[in-house]
Amino acid sequence: MGNRRARIPYFLAAPGIIWLGLFFLVPLALMLVESLKTGGLFSGGYHFNWEFSNYGDAITKNSEFIFRSIRISAYVTVACLLFGYPLAYWIAFHGGRWKSQLLLLVLLPFFVSYIIRTIQWTFILSDQGIILGPLKSLGLVSEGFHVLATEFAVVAGIFYSFLPFAMLPLYVSLERIDKRLVEAATDLYASRLQAFLKVVLPLSLPGVFAAVVLTFVPATGDYVNAELLGNPGTFLVGNKIQDLFLNKNNYPEAAALSLVLMVVMVVIASIYARALGTEEATNMAAAG
Amino acid sequence: MTEPLDPIRMKRAMHARLTRRTFMKGTGAGIAGISLASILAACGSDKGPGAAQPTDIFSGEPGNLVNFANWPLYMDEGEGSDGKVTHPSLDAFTKKTDIDVDYKEGINENAEFFGKLQPQFEAGDPTGYDIIVITNGRQLTALIQSGWVYELDPALRPNFEANAADFARSPEFDPDNKHTMAWQSGITGIGVNLDRVNGPITSLDDLANPAKVGTDTVGMLREDMPNAVMIHLGIDPKTSGPDEWNEAAAWLQHQKDAGTVRKYYTQGYIDDFKVGNLAASMAWSGDIEYYRVWEDKPFEFVFPETGALLWVDNQMIPVGAANPVGAIELMDWYYQPEIADMVTEYVLYMTPVKGVQDLMLKNADAYRDDGDEDSAKRTEESAHSDFLFPSEEFLAKTSFGRNLTTDDEVEEWDAIFDPISQT
């Protein structure tokens, strides 16, 4: 009976593990195999050859795109935190009986396809569109002014797409904070700002960590916003991977670059987790 | 004489064709064509190209069905009694031959479509298609070199032999049309928004001149621009090498440094063009001509004074096709002038078939006789367009692009030109 009980968690986890195995580990393995192939368009395709030099090529040829993607993702993540944290805080602490509706408003854009949402920005921000057209007619901006095809448009587009991903985990962690702790802090002569900095912010760190990971990681691989809203200077590593796969038919280099990006993201996330000390904060929140 | 198309229906259909070559590929659809199954197929096989061509592939009677893959909005369209889209030229083929055609608009990019088929070719499996349409370029050359498309039997294409235009016969990328028969052709030139430029635009140099086009107002076509610039510099792309490629890259960098380029497009330039985000762009002839002729936009397609890039979309029969005999019969069907006219009046690209211009002019007369002066005028204008029916003098100033034939050439070419559009 004891052994059977001990096996129950594994049975419960089995569907998830199988799903993860089939749809993550197997494709990852196939990607690894693809990344070690050689050949070409005129060589009858690609064949497995333990070609580890593909990784060297992927890094040396594409480091500029990797660094650029990390930089833009950092801007997006900071923007998501700056906008998402106050929004999540306000809903968690002051949303009252309207919390569900307010959360729904945040999530509403997700009912529309990601591509459609991004394409809509090309119409809204068009040089003669509904925003810039009237401004140009009134002489408030110059005729040559444009928002599309700039880095700002790409950052804004990715920010718009990922703000809910940042806001939701922040909301969850803030919602879990016992409000009596804040009261206790103010009873002990802490100002509201001190109460926030000493009580609320540290306890919300697991949410901040999740928000950063859920924003920074996918934003680094995003290519849709750069493709539709950007210019040559905003060509990101996701665009390069897409270009290698879909335009150049260079699958080994594309696979190698994808795996390099994955490793870079894991390293950055690990360093960040250590620096933030989220494990300790999570344990404290759980104990509280 | 061919029946004139209903002008209202044609206009409505043509409005939908506005994104034929600029059809937005599903950029959010993930890695199109690189499915788990296809990767497994590729991984599981180290075979080379598909099965060797059978010596009697074109013998026997045609089958009952031809599977035809083409680009979107690249076929004449009508409306059936049930309101569904029909293709009158395909329906006429079926009526004449009793061969059904399963027509799919599944090609949005040459490389993307090639990527979808490559695992099947490598595994020696049929692709499910009998006819595919690929633009001259590296993918088409790879298909031919790898033995992944059948050699055609000239005896089974009498209409092609009789009526193919000179530019469609024995092109450099497929001598003697061993593997290809042109579907449509076009020119890469300059699209101009007359309301946004300062003075006449006559050459690519104007696209690098901020005084003429402003800053951040020019679109360039990523795949076409190396060859187009070489032509502009007086270089014959067909015989060019790395020195000439670097010369073209230097010009492109100079243009980029001048600040005129807004974006480098694979597709989608026409969307920015239509809404006024671009003053001028490298453009495909049919796209600009449609908006000029049928939508009265203030656009002009300019044939650069130093010459322009010619491209051809080619019909081919992939190895493993279930009905190659039916396929070549259908391919040759479109080399009858009256059938070719049905397609050309819809898509407004350069037909590879002689005799279509006269038919279009007759159709214009028919519109006029019916009292539809507007359609008559527009059809006449299209019929007299150098971009649909180029003169010999006109064609003499066009050139096909460089035909890359080895992986080393591809790598060197990409290393020279990719940084222009990606940094």
Q: pLDDT tens across A109-142, in order?
A: 888 898 999 999 999 999 989 999 999 999 999 9
Closest CA to B340 of B59, A224, B331, B210: B331
Tell me if B276 and A232 make a contact (CB, 8 A cut-off): no
Range scoring the smallest mean pLDDT among A249-253, B39-43, B125-129: B39-43
Chain B residues inside the 8 Å CB shell of A235: 421-423
User: What's the rounded mean pLDDT across residues A228-247?
Assistant: 92
Tell if the CB–CB gap between B27 and A228 is shorter than 8 Å. Answer: yes
Could you tell me whether strands A45-48 and B299-302 are parallel, antiparallel, or unpaired per DSSP bridges? unpaired
Distance from CA of B148 to the nearest CA of A (A): 9
pTM of the model: 0.85
Structure ipTM: 0.84
Q: Quick one: pLDDT band at residue A4, thresholds 50, 70, 90?
A: confident
Give the nearest chain B residue to A230 (CA atoms).
Answer: B263
3-state secondary structure of B184: strand
For B138, which of A41, A46, A122 is closest by C-beta distance?
Answer: A41
Of A34, A39, A232, the CB nearest to B422: A232
What pLDDT is stored for residue A110 in this prediction?
83
Q: Do B146 and A129 touch (CB under 8 A)?
A: no
Q: Is the distance from CB of B182 to CB of B164 less than 8 angstroms?
A: yes
Residue B55 in this model has a pLDDT that exceeds 80: no
Interface test with A, best of B38, B221, B263, B417 (most A CBs within 10 A): B263
Q: Which of B43, B121, B265, B422 to mutate to test the interface with A (most CBs of A within 10 A)?
A: B422
Confidence of residue B179 (pLDDT cuts 50, 70, 90): very high
Measure CB to CB from residue B114 to each of A26, A118, A249 and give the nearest one.
A249
Q: Do B118 and A248 touch (CB under 8 A)?
A: no
| Contact between B28 and A240 using a beta-carbon 8 Å cutoff | no
Residue of A nearest to B138 (CA): A41
pLDDT in tens, A75-111: 999 999 999 999 999 999 999 899 999 999 988 888 8
Distance (Å) from the C-alpha of residue B124 to the closest C-alpha of chain A?
12
In three-state secondary structure terms, B402 is coil
Q: CB of B31 within 8 A of CB of A245?
A: yes
- B392: pLDDT confidence band, cut at 50, 70 and 90? confident
pLDDT at A284: 52
* Helical H segments across chain A, by residue range: 2-20, 26-35, 53-94, 99-107, 114-124, 132-137, 151-175, 179-187, 192-195, 201-203, 205-221, 224-229, 237-242, 251-276, 278-287
Residue of chain B minimizing CA distance to A33: B43
Test B422 with A126 for CB contact under 8 angstroms.
no
Max CA separation in chain A (angstroms): 80
Q: Looking at beta carbons, which pairs linking B414-419 to residues 24 or more positions away fall under 8 Å?
A: B414/A248, B416/B226, B416/B242, B416/B245, B416/B246, B416/B249, B417/B225, B417/B226, B417/B245, B417/B248, B417/B249, B417/B252, B418/A243
pLDDT for res B33: 36
pLDDT of amino acid B312: 96
Among B19, B34, B117, B411, pick the best mutation site for testing chain A contact (most A Cβ within 10 A): B34
